[in-house]
Structure 1
Amino acid sequence: MAGARRSMDWGFPRWRGYGSSRDAATVRLCDRHGCEEPGDCPAPKSPNSPDRWHFCQRHAAEYNSKWDYFEGLSKEEAAERAANEKRDNAGYAEASHYGWGGSGDGSRSADEMRALDVLELENDADFAAIKKAFRERAKKVHPDVAPGDKEAAAEFQKIQVAYEVLRQAEERREWRG
């Protein structure tokens, strides 16, 4: 036993020193041409296809921003599919507190996205920008500014509801932590 060296492993990999493994780690690169980032976000190449693209986080976000789930469907079919999904997923509403962190990462609901469209804001707008856009638009169509104008009153109600949806969502995010 003169030439035997004692192992420091003891069966626990975390006790090994850094870099003690000599095997090369396989890293898949992003499928976007010219990108050298790791492609750790799989995305479908087409609907109902097992084939996947593998993008980095930046290119996955770009890919998903252009993805149209209702592409090729008529308005009636799209409305029916949305209603069926809303019905089928209603049981998961109680688990909404397990949502993702900040804005722009998929954490906004469809109602919030529609409210942002009403206020003519980008999807990743923060609450300060929402508040500013609401105040600017409300000043133009407030019933005190345009008394008797039915269209202005309807527009004011629309932006008021949009702001309320976004304000409540922001309060929920702050409450969750």
Structure 2
Amino acid sequence: MARPTRSDDWGFPRWRSYGAKSREAANVRLCDREGCDLPGDRPAPKAPNSPERWYFCEAHAADYNKNWDYFANLGTGEAADRERAERAQANGFRSSAHWSWGGPGDGTRSREEMRALDVLELESDAGFDEIKAAHRRLAKENHPDLKQGDKAAADAFQKIQAAYEVLRKAEERRAASS
């Protein structure tokens, strides 16, 4: 009588593949934007209230949704009702801010802006007037002309200048979009 052989996939490392048995290439849908060869894994509606979808890569989906008006062809009352319903569904994210699950800030500032605020020794909700005052104060303290030969002060001054530029450009973008 022949003795059964032991399987090779009983421990670590597993010598046999996991999951699918075939090693064939998987079909990947490409982005619907002309000339893009990235995977199109982000659906976007072709028209309001239409089941048909475009499939874009991340960059083209963001570009497509940039000017999308979710409240087009709705009256003011209908638009307010829809906005209220969508905010009610998203309140879980807002309530998590109490426990700081979402990270610092209220979500209106980018990660670069938050780092720049840390360099300027400011809180995440600081206004632009506070940013300007902190920049002036720290720039005066660390200016290379006042502290000649101090390498640490020169490095700090460069960081302060870069942080202020990040915040100034973000403020200009906000003012332009308003």
Q: TM-score range by the shorter chain?
A: 0.3 to 0.5
* Greater gyration radius: 2
Give the TM-score normalised by the residue count of structure 2: 0.45
